[in-house]
Amino acid sequence: MEPASRLRRWRYALLLCAYALFLALGAAVFAALERPPERALHAGLRAARARLLARHAACLDEPQLARLLQRLLAARSYGAAGLANASADETWEFTSALFFAASVLTTTGYGHTVPLSDGGKIFCVLYSFLGIPLTLLFLACLLRHLLPVLSFRPVQYIHIRWGFPQGHVALAHAMALGLATLGLFILIPAICFWALEDNWNFLESVYFCFISLSTIGLGDYVPKGTSPFLHPLYELSITCYLLVGLLAMLVTLETAYQLREVQALVSFFAPTHNPPRDNDDRLEILRGDQLALATISGST
């Protein structure tokens, strides 16, 4: 028992060190890639500011420009643009508010629009406190009904109909489901955003789709559309896309998680104190109607 406990501690230490190394590697790569363009951006801003002050020195001094820029940046942080034609883009009309509510409840939180009033901030806290658990419960109920239809039954059908090993079928099905999710909810929507957003290229569109459906929501890219008349319909379509796409991502991830290969990797770091085997058998019988690809033994 003592050697097993010592081995388990070494496994946890290995997992912790690997994750810390992964974080450090990501930070190093981001720093190496982003520091040069950041410095170039700062240099360009300083040069543009110096040219503006030199050109309008008679009517504009540096403190006035600094105060104007501070007000513009403060307004931008609340989702209000300071451009001359910004009044045409309503931030809190119904479809925009619906898009904000969906981003809050899915924890995407782009940050491009935030409540301005104290009442709005208080309501956002209370609404999120209640709404996020309800959203998780709603998604869990949908997953419970969708996973057998989209994952477990296709694997069983192919195995019974053509006699392929269940483990191989499960792996191939998870890969096919991942590719379908990538195409239907990342690449095709990215092409649509590429066509509809004036200043986005294809890479930026793919970046927005992935950042949104993974609920990271950095907020550096937020779709605005080109037609003011179709803007409400455009935002409503994006709201539906985010909700359906998030559900598709969860189905894909849960299907991959239930693979025997993934379960074996998880069990390598899991505690070794398991309940008796007869209890395990009863649990597997109770879970038989759910997706449990991890419990399907491969056939030869």
82 within a domain of the structure (yes/no): no
Confirm if 208 and 221 have CB atoms less than 8 A apart: yes
Q: Over the stretch 86-95, which tens digit does the pLDDT of each residue have?
A: 444 567 888 8
Residue 240's domain spans which residues?
93-300
Over residues 21-49, mean pLDDT: 90
12 within a domain of the structure (yes/no): no
173 within a domain of the structure (yes/no): yes
Residue 217 burial class via C-beta count within 10 angstroms: exposed 0-12, middle 13-18, buried 19 and up = buried
- Give the Cα separation of 61 and 58 in Å (integer): 8
The helix, strand and coil proportions of the chain, stated in percent and rounded to the nearest 5, come to 75, 0, 25
- Give the Cα separation of 89 and 99 in Å (integer): 14
Q: What is the share, in percent, of the chain residues with pLDDT greater than 70?
A: 80
The mean-pLDDT minimum among 19-33, 117-131, 255-269 falls in 255-269
287 within a domain of the structure (yes/no): yes
Coil, helix or strand for 91?
A: coil
Instruction: Name, in order, each residue with C-beta under 8 angstroms of 134's C-beta and a sequence gap of 6 or more.
Output: 105
What pTM was computed for the model? 0.75
43 within a domain of the structure (yes/no): no
R_g over Cα of the chain: 26
**CA-wise closest residue to 249 among 157, 134, 146, 137:** 146
**CA-wise closest residue to 246 among 148, 149, 102, 129:** 102
What pLDDT is stored for residue 127 in this prediction? 94
Q: Indicate the residue type of 292.
A: A
Over residues 63-77, mean pLDDT: 70
Confirm if 166 and 150 have CB atoms less than 8 A apart: no
**Higher pLDDT among residues 173 and 278, named by residue:** 173
Q: Which tokens is 46 given?
A: 């300083």
CATH for 221: 1.10.287.70
42 within a domain of the structure (yes/no): no
14 within a domain of the structure (yes/no): no
Q: How many domains does the chain have?
A: 1
**CA-wise closest residue to 147 among 283, 57, 69, 256:** 256
204 within a domain of the structure (yes/no): yes
The mean-pLDDT minimum among 25-39, 166-180, 196-210, 213-227 falls in 213-227
Confirm if 110 and 79 have CB atoms less than 8 A apart: no
Q: How far is CA 199 from CA 168, 193, 196, 272, 279, in A?
A: 44, 10, 9, 54, 59
The yes-or-no verdict on residue 68 having pLDDT over 90 is no
The yes-or-no verdict on residue 286 having pLDDT over 70 is no
The strand ranges marked E within 218-266 are none
Q: Over the stretch 202-225, which tens digit does the pLDDT of each residue have?
A: 999 999 999 999 998 888 888 887
- Give the Cα separation of 158 and 164 in Å (integer): 7
- Give the Cα separation of 203 and 229 in Å (integer): 27
Coil, helix or strand for 132?
A: helix
Return mean pLDDT, the chain. Answer: 81
